[in-house]
Structure 1
Amino acid sequence: MTFFIFLLACAAAASTGIIFKPGPWYASLVKPGFTPPNWLFPVAWTVIYLLLAWAGYRLALIPGSQTVIALWAAQIALNTLWTPVFFGAHQMFAGLVIITLLWLVVAVMVVLTLRLDVITGLILFPYLAWLCVAAALNFSIWRNNR
């Protein structure tokens, strides 16, 4: 049951991508050469959300994980917020602020999780890596499309 609660939170975050699609606005932006192909975004996020739910479930089973679970909740809230701000409101700089905060929260979460359980910490690494790409992409788009 606990896994499904974390999965539901991830599904809520993922639903913003269904509501606020990139569309013609995003297609018209100047993007950097390292921009992943469009098909990769839903694949990557699906894997990341499944890993996030699994990590949240594992964390919920570890005594003393309250701080990390609070960080998990903070990151899913920031994750959910980014899409409507960037794709919905077309606010590239506000999106950059959100994704920077998101990256910081996830980085701290990974470090603290590794101290509690190495496997769960490693489960979170793909998310942090993808956020590095996403933040660099957000920054480059903001810089090149003012």
Structure 2
Amino acid sequence: MLFLVFLLACLCAGMTGYLFPTGEWYKRLDKPSWTPPNWAFPVVWTTLYLFMAIAGARVAAIGGPGATTALAFWALQIAANTLWTPTVFGQHRLRLGLGVIGLLWLAVLGATIAHWNVSTLAGILFLPYLAWVSVAAALNAALVRLNPSKR
């Protein structure tokens, strides 16, 4: 049951991708050569959301010292995750999106460490997420740099 609660939170965050698709605006942006292909995004995010849900449910089930901190970081990262897509793809605010993804990166780092302190497996499940958000933050920064006249 715990897993379903965390999975539902992830599904709600993931729905922002359907509510605010990349669209023509994104297609017209100058992008770095290392931009992942469009098909990679839903595959990666589906996997990451499953890992997040498993990690959160595991920490919630274990409880004990450190679980409250880990779950607070879990909540912070999913909130920042949910906010980034409408900021960038809904409002076309690349610079503001960079601030949001900076917060997201810090929240994911905190969640990784805090989850690891409760359950090594839960912490390991956050590592691919930290790596992907690092790539996404670098991509967001590159979009700001390559598209200075865009909102």
Same fold (TM over 0.5): yes
Matched, 1:66 2:68: yes
Equivalent residue, structure 1, for 2:42 = 42
Q: Give TM-score, length-normalised by structure 1.
A: 0.98
Instruction: State the secondary structure of the residue aligned to 2:35.
Output: coil
Structure 1 stretches of at least 4 aligned residues deviating more than 2 Å after TM superposition: none
Match of 2:131, as an amino acid? A
Equivalent residue, structure 1, for 2:14 = 14
Q: Deviations over 1:78-127 (max 9, x none)?
A: 00000000000000011000000100111111112222211110011110
Match of 2:118, as an amino acid? L
Give 1:61 deviation, angstroms: 1.3
- Alignment partners' CA distance in 2, 1:109 and 1:52: 10
- Two-structure CA RMSD over aligned residues (Å): 0.7
- Alignment partners' CA distance in 2, 1:109 and 1:79: 13
Instruction: State the secondary structure of the residue aligned to 1:34.
Output: coil
Instruction: State the secondary structure of the residue aligned to 1:61.
Output: helix
- Alignment partners' CA distance in 2, 1:115 and 1:76: 19
Equivalent residue, structure 1, for 2:132 = 130
Matches within 5 A, 1:23-102: 23-62=23-62, 63-64=64-65, 65-102=67-104
Equivalent residue, structure 2, for 1:141 = 143
Q: Give TM-score, length-normalised by structure 2.
A: 0.95
Equivalent residue, structure 2, for 1:114 = 116
Give 1:76 deviation, angstroms: 0.3
Q: Deviations over 1:42-82 (max 9, x none)?
A: 00000000111111100101222001101100100000000
- Alignment partners' CA distance in 1, 2:31 and 2:2: 39
- Alignment partners' CA distance in 2, 1:138 and 1:120: 27
Any gaps of 5 or more consecutive residues in structure 1?
none
- Alignment partners' CA distance in 2, 1:9 and 1:113: 17
Match of 2:135, as an amino acid? V
